[in-house]
Amino acid sequence: MSMMKHKFQWVRKAGSVSAALLCIALLGGCNNKKPQAQKAPPEVMTVSVAKESVLLTSELPGRTSAYRIAEIRPQVNGVILKRLFEEGTDVQEGQSLYQIDPAPFEAAINSARAALERAQANLPAVQLRQERYKQALENKAVSQQDYDDASASLKQAQADIQYYQAMLDTAQINLNYSKVISPLTGRIGTSSVTDGATVTAYQPVPLATVQQMDPIYVDVPQSTSEMMRLRKRFQEGLLTRDQEVISQVELILDDGSTYKHKGELQFRDISVDPTTSTTILRIIFPNPEGDLLPGMFVRAIVREGEDRQALMVPQETVSRDRKGDAYVMIVENGVALQQIIQIDRAIGNKWLVASGLTEKEHIVLEGLQNINHQTQVSEVYSGVWGKEVKEPQAQAQPAQPQPAQPQPAQAEGAGAPAAAPQK
């Protein structure tokens, strides 16, 4: 019994010693743990911008319209005998388009001519009678009343000649109107009547429509607010205008292609549409090949003026906050700061800055994903954008697979043992 008690005490003492040794080992291990290294600030690439001269343009939607339009209507009543053109073809000025039955007008000419000849035949006798009465009145052989009647008959005969001459001229004009001709050179559309149709003079429905399409108009609307903004910038000297350059306009077709001929700004309408608060700009384009048709939807690139103090920043440097305000990240004294800017428009792959930025500030071009406002950064300044720096550095391409090297690969997990080299 005493022997068993002695063994139990010995085991308890041994356990206490083991526990104490374990605690010492753990404390020693904790004391030997190395302190973590401080993380280095992220590296960013910055650039600055310089003022440059930029030609400002606006892309405005619009539609084409014919240079001249003629609605063909008859000028006399009658029956269409024949249509003298093919629909959809080009016609020339003075070309006959329709033939109206000329028979009634030929008869009217013959009647007016006969009446004129009768009046002309009666004139000599009346004229001689008036002369005889005049001599007789001097000799007191006839009364004054007889002479006055002879003089009135002469004037009436002369007036009859003029009247019947006018009737003959009218009949001849109506006969000419029986041929409906084109008043201009252009392309004619569909015909609203066929052979044998009865038409009336100056009827409301045109027989056909001829449109001159070379040159051709393009009408584009411009808001009055934009017009006032441009006028203010010109008055403040922020924009300069070369009339010869400004008047040239480019055209983008509905399929996205650029029209090969340049147009010229002709005039700006003086009236404003009260429903849209816009005014119309009329541009004239040459159209020798007939590529532009009336009513086509196009976009006109109108040149506003030249900004000789423009600040342009790369589009990839501009972000937007939750409110939608545009900003860039700049670096001052090793600290990244968020700078709110006002953007005017996009020009190519750049933004035109209206305000909020100067030439002295360093803009973060690369490394934006690693920084926030007031982040300590390591700046690498690359120079002036567009001069020392032509474009952003290309993104790293994925590495091509390389043949396996006879060396141990590093384990992915922290503290994992290295794999044995492959043989």
String of DSSP letters for 313-363? EEGGG-EE-TT--EEEEEEETTEEEEEE-EEEEEETTEEEEEES--TTPEE
Q: Is the pTM of this model over 0.85?
A: no
The pLDDT, as a whole number, for residue 108 is 95
Cβ atoms < 10 Å from Cβ of 292: 23
**Tokens at residue 10, please?**
């010995």
Helix 144-177 with 103-138: angle, nearest 10 deg: 160
Residue ranges of domains in the chain, CATH in brackets: 45-54+310-384 (2.40.420.20), 74-101+178-205 (2.40.50.100), 102-177 (1.10.287.470), 211-307 (2.40.30.170)
Rounded CA separation 300/253 (Å): 9
CB under 8 Å to 282, separation ≥6 — which residues?
217, 218, 219, 265, 266, 267, 268, 269
Tell me what pLDDT residue 238 has.
Answer: 62
In this predicted structure, what is the pLDDT of residue 243?
62
Please identify which residue in the block is written with the tokens 């973590």: 36
Beta bridge partners of 100: 80
Give the pair of three-digit tokens for residue 185: 């050179």
SS3 label, residue 24: helix
Closest alpha carbon to 69 in 217, 219, 253: 217
Q: Alpha carbon of 9 to those of 6, 12, 15, 21, 114: distances in Å?
A: 5, 5, 10, 19, 164
C-alpha closest to that of 171 among 96, 108, 244, 113: 108
Predicted local distance difference test score (pLDDT) of residue 146: 85
pLDDT of residue 241: 65
| Rounded Cα–Cα distance for residues 297 and 276 (Å) | 18
Phi and psi based region of residue 318 (left: phi greater than 0; alpha: psi -120 to 50; beta: remaining): beta
Residue 177 near residue 74, CB atoms below 8 Å: yes
What does each of the 423 residues of the chain score in pLDDT, given as a tens digit?
A: 444 444 445 445 444 545 444 544 444 444 544 555 567 889 999 999 988 888 888 888 999 999 999 999 999 999 999 999 999 999 999 999 999 999 999 999 999 999 999 999 999 998 898 888 888 888 888 888 888 888 899 899 999 999 999 999 999 999 999 999 999 999 999 999 999 999 999 999 999 999 999 999 999 998 888 778 777 777 766 666 666 666 788 999 988 899 999 998 888 888 888 888 888 889 999 999 989 999 999 999 988 778 888 888 999 999 999 999 999 999 999 999 999 999 988 888 899 998 899 888 999 999 889 888 889 999 999 888 877 666 544 333 333 333 333 333 333 333 333 333 333
Please, what is the average pLDDT of the chain? Answer: 81
**Terminal alpha carbon distance of the chain:** 65
Give the closest residue to 64 by CA, choosing from 223, 302, 263, 304: 263
As beta bridge partners, residue 240 has 306
